[in-house]
Amino acid sequence: MVSGTPTLRTPGGERELAPGDTVCFREGPEGAHLVSNGSDGPVRVLILSNKANPAVAVYPDSDKIGIFGAGEDGALFRRGGAVDYWDGER
């Protein structure tokens, strides 16, 4: 955390972050997180990642799946748009 007081939501609950706080998120459902600013002031957060490409992320709040490749490649899909494995195959 750089400045401000955002709220961090994880599977373990919510807590307010303060400048100097550092958090780490595991891959998978246990690492699910949301950082939001419910305060009246600005928030600055520094985010570092060691995600490898390609990467897949699940967004349970919006029921989406993100698939990300190298560079600008990537797309988000609604889970409700899923098709059967054999759809379109011969």
pTM, 2 dp:
0.74
pLDDT of residue 44: 96
pLDDT of residue 62: 93
- Among the listed residues 34, 38, 32, the one whose alpha carbon sits nearest the alpha carbon of residue 5: 38
**What average pLDDT score do residues 37-53 get?**
90
**What average pLDDT score do residues 66-73 get?**
82
Strand order in 64-68's β-sheet?
55-59, 64-68, 74-78
Under 8 Å between Cβ of 17 and 8: yes
Name the percent of the chain lying above pLDDT 90: 63
DSSP-based three-state secondary structure for 15: strand
Q: Where are the beta strands (DSSP E) in 1-90?
A: 7-10, 13-16, 34-36, 55-59, 64-68, 74-78
Name the pLDDT band for 6 (thresholds 50, 70, 90).
Answer: very high
